[in-house]
Structure 1
Amino acid sequence: MISNEPSLNPLPSLRYSYLMRIFYFLLITFVSLIITVVTMSSIIRGGHTTALVRIATVVQDVALFILPAIITAVIVSPLPARLLCIDRKPSASITILAFVALMCSIPAMNMIVEWNENITLPQSLEALEEWMRKSEETARAQVEILLGGASVADLIINILIVGVLAGFSEEIFFRGAMQRLLSSGSINYHAAIWLTA
């Protein structure tokens, strides 16, 4: 085993040198980024309708996050599922603990959102504040388009795209691939966690 990481889910034996594994991950991610940008541009060219924004979001999650992680894992490991930590289901206690942590963090997240909405910068940074507000409004408009209607079908689609797919794709990319690859060399596991964050 090549790891200084806790033995909770040890790394399998990996192929190639540490730098080559990181290089493959970055190269595959870069190629995926280009493909994603081109694909999303052609999808959104049809307009910013709810259906097209949803399709573009799914394409982004799959092409930019899931595929690079899986392709890299297949290239560098004989056990790609173990490398990505998707070879077992989480324990019930961990699932409950994660749910409780999420529920307890909601007030803090709401407070941060409120602070963000009410931020006021000094007069000398007025241009920056205006840019921040316009960016926030653009993001809010995109989210409203993505969330679409108010039917039960829209709610289910939104939960699957925003709640399940976005969370899964980011976790498999950042925690499954990036963090595990960074910690597969001489770098300290805690440093790998902070770099990934």
Structure 2
Amino acid sequence: MAFHEIRFPDNISRGARGGPERRTQIVELARGDEERNASWANSRRRYDVAYGIRRADDLAAVVAFFEARNGRLYGFRYKDWADYKSGLPSQPVSPVDQRIGTGDGSTANFSLIKRYVSGGQSWARAIVKPVTGTVRVAVNGIEPASGWTVDAATGIVAFATAPPAGMAITTGFEFDVPVRFDTDMLDVTLDLERLGSITSIPLMEIRR
């Protein structure tokens, strides 16, 4: 996957709009009942960052970022200010925020995930772009000072020694969303007062 490990400017993404998208097929039967089927097993996020542009310098930064990514060619990191932590937005990252596995004495690598829970239902989201320096890990509730690493480009936590059988592996982290531009053209307007604007700058999450 063609990807640049660089984050879209935070000051612009903070004012953006967007969120998760699902795709559901709905068939209305003759008697008025419905049958619903999920076309996608996982959600996909879409954003429009045009809403975050407030001045001409912001516009210049976006145009430079767009050109450096060759439009839709290269993916990049994006901070979704509505959802960028393993736990609640108001709480600091904790090493027990998310359970990512259970030790079996032989498995040393574990993938970061975030679970979304409501009632008795939940959905597990793969986290592949953790933010460097924010990841914390615990084994059975104890945070080791060393003996593990995390790949910031893949979200894989690797232990030097496989955790013992039955031990809960938990983590906490901040994360970015892997996205790409969903257009190969920016329609830029610059008025007489040098206030720049773009009607729409769509971004789409990249799924593996």
- Fold match, TM over 0.5? no
Q: TM class, shorter-chain normalised? A: under 0.3
- Give the structure with the larger strand fraction: 2
Q: Which has the higher contact order (CA 8 A, sep 6+)?
A: 1
TM-score by length of 1: 0.22
TM-score by length of 2: 0.21
